[in-house]
């Protein structure tokens, strides 16, 4: 029920405050959140994108002091809602030039809310390596010369020791310090992984943000909120995926399924089936080397994270992971079936602070260059980059992590690397400069559209039609269709995910619950009715349109909504999708039409007015 009394945002799941920090002059100020913006955009992705648009000018260099690094939470962050301690990072991506939003588990998000802030906006550049330390209203910028060059986990543990165990810290590794476009931001072993947010943080000479809070999050209707969260948890517990499959096998629960459907990327997407799949499946990792199951954040019953102990080649080494995307990128896509090598390369990525998906795709690209004779052993500094070589996988990952020798070039990403090798563009697997995730779209046409129109470049988490197309979730969908119904499925999932990302919950909730349960939690939390369930979906569409407005301002149009030539011109060689390419063009036309965008992919004035964006973008 809408509460028409004067109720501040601080009693609606928000703290009502945005902390602005300028590293250049070591100043900070607190801005009160606008309730109108909160109602329109909710938080997280929506709020972060609006701030990014308002605080940047067209053409802002992602690595300049003027590019804001935004840590944002949602109204459910820090509450008893499932998986509600996540946060998102929003910035302009140094990898793609688009807006970038990346999400991270752990306890940093909740701690930021407890400190009294919904958002931190960081601009400027510190004179020396620094850490931003926040304890409630006490905000300081402290030197971190002794931490510069340190690995992510060493930095995290050092800050805990220095500041106190109750502090939560978001840190970068050496790759972020070097401003590598594939650098990520880490909270312990959790990561805001894609798009190069770690490089933006490094460009500001900011090694870490450490937060400690002593406040609490107040919701609008505590009793109704408790009932709604109980229903949400019960719904999760009733789902086979979230109660049994993922707790047992993590996200690797689908490895063999995706392989069977012919969508498991193998040898740089040359095919969709990997002959060594049984060796790297979730079931195989469950036998060894996984030893422990953990939840990455508060209020999580899914417990998808796994701790591996490597007893053979890397004796005594413990690794958080690998997950599905890492198994694909460092495993099948490089032709590697050695579980310990995959897990160890995963650890190297975490320690140096780089994205595992991008790292694996970069290595597979170089393996194909080597296969085709476009590079030789001298180019690779003696590393024989053969398909399936665990030695090459680990050595090249370390080169990328250190940014030394050939790693200095590799860390730039597939798009930039391919520009140095004429003719390689056809198998440079990226969209808008962001490397491909682990579902071959020739075997799941909807994913082809999702990759092409994703605002941050190739991303499986902006609309996961593969769940319906390949795994049979929600009643399934024909993976090879590319009609208007498939486009509508992508739009519906994109809008739902935008709501999840603006409330800042874990994506995996959508495997066990629907937007209905999210709506039932949000209304008693915020006291906003959103004009019913349909209004909440409209909020998601509003956020997606807002991201498009930002990218359009930066010059992105239909020409950028495309896929690597391999998907568009090379038919799948085997499996259920044998002979298929991605039929992107008709899906794009239908997508723009259904979205209310013009034929160049630009939202029309009527669409902006429909969503109320004309009022907040002027």
Q: Summarize pLDDT for 489-525 with one digit per residue, the tens.
A: 999 999 999 999 999 998 888 888 889 999 999 999 9
Taking the C-alpha atoms of residue 301 and residue 513, their distance in angstroms, rounded to an integer, is 13
Q: Summarize pLDDT for 169-218 with one digit per residue, the tens.
A: 999 999 999 999 999 999 998 999 899 999 999 999 999 999 999 999 99
Q: DSSP letters of 357-397?
A: HHHHHHHHHHHHHHHTTSS-TTTTTT----TT-HHHHHHHH
Q: Across all residues in the chain, what is the average pLDDT? A: 95
Q: Summarize pLDDT for 326-356 with one digit per residue, the tens.
A: 999 999 999 999 999 999 999 999 999 999 9
Q: Summarize pLDDT for 467-493 with one digit per residue, the tens.
A: 999 999 888 999 999 999 999 999 999
The pLDDT value recorded for residue 245 is: 85
Q: Summarize pLDDT for 138-177 with one digit per residue, the tens.
A: 999 999 999 999 999 999 999 999 999 999 999 999 999 9
Report the 10 Å Cβ neighbour count for 328.
Answer: 31
The pLDDT value recorded for residue 618 is: 78
The pLDDT value recorded for residue 467 is: 94
The pTM assigned to this predicted structure is 0.96
The pLDDT value recorded for residue 4 is: 40
Please say whether the beta carbons of 195 and 434 come within 8 A: yes
Of 262-271, 306-315, 357-366, 367-376, the one with minimum mean pLDDT is 306-315
Burial 516-545 (b: 16+ CB within 10 A, else e): ebbbbbbbbbbbbbbeebeebbbbbbbbbb
The pLDDT value recorded for residue 284 is: 96
Report the 10 Å Cβ neighbour count for 186.
Answer: 29
Taking the C-alpha atoms of residue 57 and residue 67, their distance in angstroms, rounded to an integer, is 9
From 167, 155, 131, 128, select the one nearest 21 (Cα to Cα): 131
Please say whether the beta carbons of 294 and 305 come within 8 A: yes
Average pLDDT over residues 547-556: 98
Domains of the chain plus CATH, in order, are 9-212 (3.60.9.10), 238-428 (1.10.569.10), 441-617 (1.10.599.10)
Instruction: Show Cβ contacts of residue 408 under 8 Å, excluding neighbours closer than 6 positions.
Output: none
Query: pLDDT > 90: what percent of the chain?
Result: 89
The pLDDT value recorded for residue 7 is: 58
Q: Summarize pLDDT for 14-69 with one digit per residue, the tens.
A: 999 999 999 999 999 999 999 999 999 999 999 999 999 999 999 999 999 999 99
pLDDT at 2 over 50: no
Which CA distances in Å does 25 have to 37, 122, 132, 452? 29, 12, 13, 40
Q: Summarize pLDDT for 573-599 with one digit per residue, the tens.
A: 999 999 999 999 999 999 999 999 999
Q: Summarize pLDDT for 378-416 with one digit per residue, the tens.
A: 999 999 999 999 999 999 999 999 999 999 999 999 999
Average pLDDT over residues 279-303: 89
Question: Which pairing describes strands 190-192 and 99-104: parallel, antiparallel, or unpaired?
Answer: unpaired
User: HSE-up of 132 (CA within 13 Å, CB side)?
Assistant: 32
Query: pLDDT > 70: what percent of the chain?
Result: 98
Q: What is the DSSP letter of 424?
A: G
């Amino acid at each position: 029920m809408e509460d028409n009394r004067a109720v501040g945002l601080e009693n609606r799941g928000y703290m009502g405050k945005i902390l602005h920090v300028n590293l250049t002059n070591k100043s900070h100020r607190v801005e009160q959140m606008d309730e109108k913006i909160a109602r329109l955009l909710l938080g997280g992705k929506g709020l972060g994108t609006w701030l990014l648009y308002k605080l940047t000018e067209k053409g802002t260099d992602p690595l300049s002091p003027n590019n804001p690094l935004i840590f944002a939470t949602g109204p459910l962050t820090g509450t008893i809602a499932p998986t509600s301690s996540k946060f998102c990072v929003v910035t302009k991506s140094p990898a793609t030039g688009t807006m970038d939003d990346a999400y991270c588990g752990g306890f940093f998000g909740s701690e930021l809310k407890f400190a009294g802030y919904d958002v931190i906006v960081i601009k400027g550049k510190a004179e020396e390596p620094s850490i931003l330390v926040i304890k409630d209203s006490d905000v300081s910028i402290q030197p971190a010369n002794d931490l510069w060059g340190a690995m992510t986990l060493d930095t995290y543990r050092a800050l805990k020791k220095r500041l106190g165990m109750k502090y939560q810290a978001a840190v970068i590794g050496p790759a972020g310090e070097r401003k590598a476009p594939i650098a990520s931001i880490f909270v312990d072993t959790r990561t805001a992984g894609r798009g190069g947010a770690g490089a933006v943080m490094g460009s500001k000479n900011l090694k870490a943000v450490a937060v400690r809070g002593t406040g609490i999050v107040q919701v609008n209707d505590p009793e109704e909120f408790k009932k709604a969260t109980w229903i949400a948890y019960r719904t999760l517990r009733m789902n086979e995926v979230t109660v049994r499959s993922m707790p047992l096998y993590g996200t690797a629960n689908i490895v063999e399924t995706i392989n069977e459907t012919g969508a498991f990327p193998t040898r740089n997407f040359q095919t969709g089936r990997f002959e060594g799949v049984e060796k790297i499946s979730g079931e195989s990792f469950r036998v060894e080397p996984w030893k422990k199951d953990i939840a990455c954040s508060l209020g999580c019953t899914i417990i998808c994270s796994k701790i591996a102990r490597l007893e053979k080649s890397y004796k005594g080494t413990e690794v958080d992971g690998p997950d599905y995307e890492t198994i694909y990128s460092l495993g099948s896509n490089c032709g590697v079936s050695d579980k310990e090598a995959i897990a160890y390369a995963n650890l190297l990525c975490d320690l140096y602070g780089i994205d595992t998906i991008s790292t694996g795709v970069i290595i597979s690209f170089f393996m194909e260059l080597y296969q085709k004779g476009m590079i030789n052993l001298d180019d690779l500094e003696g590393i024989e980059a053969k398909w399936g070589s665990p030695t090459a996988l680990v050595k090249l990952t370390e080169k990328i992590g250190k940014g030394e020798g050939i790693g200095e070039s590799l860390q730039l990403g597939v798009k930039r690397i391919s520009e140095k090798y004429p003719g390689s563009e056809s198998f440079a697997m990226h969209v808008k400069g962001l490397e491909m995730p682990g579902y071959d779209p020739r075997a799941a046409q909807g994913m082809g559209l999702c990759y092409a129109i994703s605002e941050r470049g190739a991303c499986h988490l902006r609309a996961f039609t593969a769940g319906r197309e390949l795994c049979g979730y929600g009643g399934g969908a024909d993976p090879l269709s590319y009609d208007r119904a498939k486009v509508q499925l992508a739009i519906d999932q994109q809008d739902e995910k935008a709501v999840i990302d603006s409330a800042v919950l874990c994506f995996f909730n959508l495997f066990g619950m629907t937007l209905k349960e999210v709506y039932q939690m949000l209304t008693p939390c915020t006291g906003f009715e959103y004009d019913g369930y349909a209004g909440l979906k409209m909020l998601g569409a509003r956020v997606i349109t807002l991201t498009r407005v930002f990218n359009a301002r930066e010059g992105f149009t239909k020409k950028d909504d495309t896929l690597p030539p391999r998907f568009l011109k090379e038919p799948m060689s085997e499996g259920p999708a044998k002979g298929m390419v991605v039929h992107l063009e008709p899906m794009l036309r239908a997508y723009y039409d259904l979205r209310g965008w013009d034929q160049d992919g630009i939202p029309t004035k009527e669409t902006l007015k429909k969503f109320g964006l004309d009022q907040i973008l002027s």
